[in-house]
Amino acid sequence: MGSLVLEALSKRYGSSTAVERVDLEVTQGEMVALLGPSGCGKTTTLRMVAGFIPPTAGRVIIGGQDVTHTPPYARDTGMVFQSYALFPHMSVAQNVAFGLEMRKVGRAERDARVMEALRLVRLDHLADRLPRQLSGGQQQRVALARALVVNPAVFLLDEPLSNLDAKLRGEVRMEIRALQQRLGLTTLIVTHDQEEALTMADRLVVMERGRVRQVGTAEELYEHPADPFVAGFVGRCNLIPGRLEAADAFRAESGALLHCDSGAAPGPAPTGAALLALRPERIGLAPDPAGRARITAVTYLGAQTEYHVEQDGTALLVARPTAPLGDPLRRLAVGDAVVLSWDAAAARLLPAE
């Protein structure tokens, strides 16, 4: 086991940049998620850690050792591929045993550890099957067992859940997290699914176009997004363009005046063009015939109900816990006038892009 450090890691292909000066430290036993839209460089970063792509600049340090120029087979990382990459010509047990063979682990110990790993993922009864005889979820667990059985210093997961159906995904997510915590694995996971990242990782790294936008815990990112991209990517967010008129007043481009607290965020308030970030669930809503806001759509989601609202030419999304039957909120329909309210501190000012 060991920590993972990336120092100013960069990858350029000719004139195009895939990854630009990524700095990151994953401490022993921590799980960090690389999050971002496709093409943001997160997979390239992961593959540089595994050693499949040589970085153009920067260093990869595993357990205090610089492995930037170490070939993949000597790096001691355990990777789970998006496609699982099981060896189709080997049985489940042979797949899992492969890494131990490479490490010249003796036969008896090897067999024992393979069975142990398979028990860990509850597949010990399928040891002699070929990968193509397994379901997608089972294949995924074989891939996990195969990566874990060698006790890697760093555990790498490349979109491990994207080939599973929604229900299974939820289960496996919990399983992986439990395993990771139980075994104390230093883990880097790549995903484009924010929910996956939020539920599994200790910390998240949001990337966009090869650069790290923000690093932090789920809460930090959600409550204090550093920029509109992070605000929009982690959770949902109303982003209203305009400018700050006073310390507590924001003039939207549509002309509406919205109240806010420019001092809530650290650092100086942006001058000039800015964005007001407002989480949908932080907006209160009450029926009021005199209200300036109109409902344009209502979506019932069970525990929550979402309202699309327009006020002075600005469209906002509001999410409220579904009110009990009989509550006036339950009767709201398209076209009804409402009044919106929010805490000034909940409205964050972000610099315009």
Partner 1 sequence: MLLPAPRTLLFRTAIGAAFLLMLAPVAMVMVISVFRQEIVSFPPPGLTLEWYVNAWARQEFARGFVTSLQVALLATAIGVPLGTAAALALQRSAIRGKGALNTLLLGPLAVPGVVAGTALYMFYLRAEFWLDRDLTATLEGLVAAHVLLTIPWTVRLVSASLQGLDRAAEEAAANLGARPLTVFRRVTLPMLRPGIVAAALFSFIQSFENLELTLLLVGPGRTTLPVAMLSYLEFRIDPTLAAVATVQIVLVAGLMLITDRFVKLSRVV
Partner 2 sequence: MAALVLPAGLLVVMLLVAPMALLARISLNRFSPTELMVEATTAENYWRAVQDPYYQQVLGTTLGVALGCTVLALALGFPAAYWLARMESRWKSLATILVLFPLLVGNVVRSAGWMALLGNEGAINAALMGAGITGGPLPLLYNGGAVVVGIVAVVLPYMILTLAAVIEGIPRQAEEAAANLGGRPMTVFRRVVLPLALPGVVAGSVLVFILCMNAYATPVLLGGPQFKMMAPAVYDQFVRGNNWPFGAALAFILLAVTLVLTVVGSTLLGRRYRAA
The binding site for partner 2 (CB under 8 A) comprises: 50-52, 71-79, 81-83, 85-89, 98-99, 102-103, 146-147, 150, 156
**What does 61 interact with, of partner 1, partner 2, none (CB < 5 to 8 A by kind)?**
none
In the three-class reduction of DSSP (H, G, I as helix; E, B as strand; rest coil), residue 206 is classed as: strand
Residue of 18, 80, 26 whose CA lies nearest to 45: 18
Helix 107-120 crosses helix 92-102 at what angle (to 10 degrees)? 130
Scanning the structure block, which residue is given the tokens 């993949």?
72
**Considering CB distances under 5 to 8 angstroms, the limit depending on partner class, which of partner 2, partner 1, none binds residue 102?**
partner 2
111/220 with CB nearer partner 2: 111
The residue (of 77 and 305) whose beta carbon lies closer to partner 2 is: 77
Residues that bind partner 1 (CB under 8 A): 47, 51-54, 71-73
Strands (E), 90-179: 154-158
Cβ contacts of residue 309 below 8 Å, gap of 6+? 285, 293, 294, 295, 296, 315, 316, 317, 318, 338, 340
Task: Tell me the closest approach of the beta carbon of residue 125 to partner 2, in angstroms.
Answer: 23
Nearer to partner 2, 36 or 99 (CB): 99
Q: Which is nearer to partner 1, 72 or 351 (CB)?
A: 72
Tokens of 212: 């790290």
Which of partner 2, partner 1, none sits in contact with 146, Cβ below 5 to 8 A by type?
Answer: partner 2
55, interface contact from partner 2, partner 1, none, CB < 5-8 Å by kind: none
Residue 54, binding choice from partner 2, partner 1, none, Cβ under 5 to 8 Å by partner class:
partner 1
Residue 298 in contact with residue 320, Cβ under 8 Å? no
